A and B are shown apart, each in its own frame.
Chain A
Amino acid sequence: MKNKGFTLVESLVAISILVVVIMSAMSSVQSGISSYIFSKDQIVAFYLAQEGFEQIKNIRDENRLNNRGWLDGITSNSSDPCYFGNACTVSPAESSVPTRCSGVGACSYVRNATTTGFYGYNSSWTQTVFRREIQLTSISADEVAVTVTVNWSKGLVNKQFKARENIYNYQ
């Protein structure tokens, strides 16, 4: 009789230990998976940001080759898409000119063409979690700071990659 009672208590203890351990093992696997997903998303964000810088620099260089004002089509007058104080975005796979977003922080989600791998804004492409915006700030007549922000969310957590670079007027 004494032994029977002990087996029940023992089993309960064993089960509770197992439950706790299995739960913690599961959650460590979970955190491993989420850090992997974060690393992967962050690398996509790096390249989206780089594309932003490259496209702006490319337009500046084109302007020089074509003897236009160095910021033409970017921010030389208030109707230009990236004019100071506005947010804009680029989509080199679809268009060589930037597009102005409806407001700062209001750029659309980047979309991905699953067949070619290009990122852009074509409505038939698959929506991703990323939102990219480019903002320009004037430092002087010959110097402009370009800030590219890529925001994405993973579950309930919002992540951000923000980089800045200054471009100069070589003309």
Chain B
Amino acid sequence: MTQKGFTLFVAMVVTGTLLLVATGIINLAIKQSFIARAGYDSQLAFYAADTGMECALFWDVKNPAGSGQSAFATSTGSTINCNRDASNPLNEWVVGGSSVSTINKITFLPDPFCAIVVVTKNDNGTTKVESFGYNTCDATSARRVERAVRATY
């Protein structure tokens, strides 16, 4: 009589142990996929930030319409555009005319990325460009990742 139900008991103990181990592993797998996703979003945000940086440098260094003057010059304002195409007709901003100019924001539709660039012209003639890239323009997204690049010269 004492042996009755012993097989089932052993089975339940083994089941419990295995389920515990399996839950742990599943947990690891889920966390790993979150990290992988965050890495992916971070890459997209970085390339958006880098585009923002390239854009600001182009309008500061070259500025085709400005006859040698930077588009961010504190004396006069200029209208600049980056990544302006049929999908992104609003990618045009007025910058310059003050020491701090903000490009808010470069969109890359149909992709959800975006970039915000802040250009500061210091009194001593130096320039600081800070470009913030996001994997999504939606500021309420729980998956939003920011990567930023700064240049001073």
List residues of A whose CB falls within 8 A of some B CB: 3, 6-7, 10-11, 13-15, 17-18, 21-22, 24-25, 28-29, 31-32, 35-36, 38-39, 42-43, 46, 49, 53, 139-140, 142-143, 145, 161, 163-171
Contact = CB atoms under 8 A, between A and B. Distances in A.
B18 to A, nearest CB: 5
Given A21-B18, A166-B51, 9 more contacts: A10-B8, A17-B11, A25-B19, A28-B23, A53-B47, A143-B82, A164-B113, A168-B54, A169-B62
Given A29-B25, A39-B32, A139-B83, A14 B47 contact: no
Q: Is the interface of A mostly helix, strand, loop or mixed?
A: helix
Chain B interface size band reads: 35 or more
Interface in B18-35: 18-19, 21-23, 25-26, 28-29, 32-33, 35
A13 B55 CA distance: 68
Looking at chain B's contact residues, the main secondary structure is helix
A3 B83 contact: no
Interface in B72-117: 82-85, 108, 111, 113
